[in-house]
Amino acid sequence: MKKCSITMRVTLWYTLFMVLLAGLSLGFLFHAAAQSARQGKLTLMQNMTADSRREIEYRNGELDIDNDLEAFQDGVYLSVYDAAGVPLYGLVPRTFDNSAVFSDGELRRVESGGRSWYLYDEAISVEDYGTLWVRSVTAADAVDSTLTQLLHWALLVLPVFVLLSAVGGYLVTRRAFAPVRRITQTAREIGEGNDLSRRIALEEGRDEIHTLAGEFDAMFGRLEEAFEHEKQFTDDASHELRTPTAVILSQSEYALEHANPQGETRTALETIHRQAAGMAALLSQLLMLARADKGRQPLHWETVDLSEMAQMVAETQAEQAAERQITVRTEIQPGVTVQGDETMLMRLLINLTENALHYGKPGGWVKLSISRQQEEAVGRVEDNGIGIASQDLDKIWQRFWQADPARSGGGAGLGLAMVRWIVDAHHGSITVDSRLGEGTAFTFRIPCENHCDL
């Protein structure tokens, strides 16, 4: 039950309640119908007995029973007896044993001839004659058969009633929860597409769900505004800082080349130049991500030989790897081409390779692989470095987040954020598999768009 949706649970409870209500109602109706049927037969039997008083007289020394006295009516048999029980008039059922002792004014149920019978006796006094017994008899199963037919009809109608109740309850509940599904769908689309401009936008309503949807829309509006301000700030700050950073970089470079500083002065200038270069790279990455967030980072689509590019990156990174005593290995299938932006794809491979080198172990290795699988180009960068804790795997794509800042190699934590955006921009996907202390492997897939060479 807990795994069912709220709509199904409400429908099941509603159907169960309706079945219970229908069962109780039918039980009451059957009881009332049984009582009414029995009372109806008793009333008819009493009325026929009462009519006999008016139709029986004693005249001229003889007992006169009017022919208008009905001996059979609607399943009820009427018979008249003298005080000694001798039949004088009327009819009795053939299978009924008429030996039952008379009992004045009592409705009885007796068994006779393998059947049940209702029996009603009444003693009447005839002037100048004495006492007569009037007996009315009817088959009990004649009353019960009506109830049985009613039960059969109820058993036929009840499943239809339950089905209609379930379907009606489901439709009503589903319609009532339609705004909730719309809220869920909008939240999912916002989460999947990072599009805070979407709104639930329910029609006018004053119930709790419409109020909740209105609050969600207002919250999304505030979040969108906050994110837009953050994007604008990042963009503006990157622009404003590029000029002074470029000045610091150029001036320190000029001083190192022309002023011929010595000792601590040269060391200080080299430090300034190195940090300015790092800051310039950081600002370039921030500016690119800010433009990407606003959809203003252009991509220049062309056919790119991913195999050749990967080989070039591996050779370029080999020198840096050697300084860290790390071996760069390759497993590159030749001729794997894709449609993409050459600069961005180059940045993708460089960032993944540098990340592997930064977190590698001295004496370890980094492996860069490129292959073609069906209609996709598959790249894989793996290492046997320090690895990433399982609880941190979802955080590595966040900007400025680093698994181990002390061993980041001077990075700012933007490389993997750029990697994620580049892969998404090329309609691809990327996954990471890592074990703490054993190493990490990044695998990206980019559609070939019919440009994989065969």
pLDDT tens digits for 76-115?
899 999 988 889 888 888 888 888 889 888 888 888 877 8
- Distance between CA atoms of 28 and 132, rounded to whole angstroms? 40
The CATH class given to the 6-165 domain equals alpha beta
* Digit-coded pLDDT (tens) for 357-376: 988 889 899 999 999 998 89
Residue 1 has pLDDT above 60, yes or no: no
Binned at pLDDT 50, 70 and 90, residue 408 comes out as very low
Q: Is residue 454's pLDDT more than 50?
A: no
Out of 17-26, 51-60, 234-243, the most confident range is 51-60
Q: What is the CATH number of domain 190-297?
A: 1.10.287.130
The CA distance from 251 to 276, in Å, is 10
pLDDT > 80? residue 335: yes
pLDDT at 132 over 50: yes
CATH 3.30.565.10 positions along the chain are: 301-447
Task: Give start-end residues of each CATH 1.10.287.130 domain in the chain.
Answer: 190-297
Q: What pLDDT sits at residue 255?
A: 78
Q: Give residue 370's pLDDT.
A: 94
Q: Determine the pLDDT at residue 295.
A: 64
pLDDT at 168: 80
**For the chain, percent of residues with pLDDT exceeding 70:** 83
CATH 3.30.450-classified regions of the chain: 6-165
Question: Has this prediction a pTM greater than 0.75?
Answer: no
263-291 pLDDT per residue, tens: 788 888 888 877 877 677 767 766 666 66
Topology of 301-447 in CATH?
Answer: Heat Shock Protein 90 (3.30.565)
In the predicted model, is pLDDT for residue 353 greater than 90? yes
Among candidate residues 135, 134, 142, 99, the one with its CA nearest the CA of residue 117: 142
Does residue 183 come out as left (phi exceeding 0), alpha (psi in the -120 to 50 range) or beta? alpha
Which residue type occupies 145?
A: S
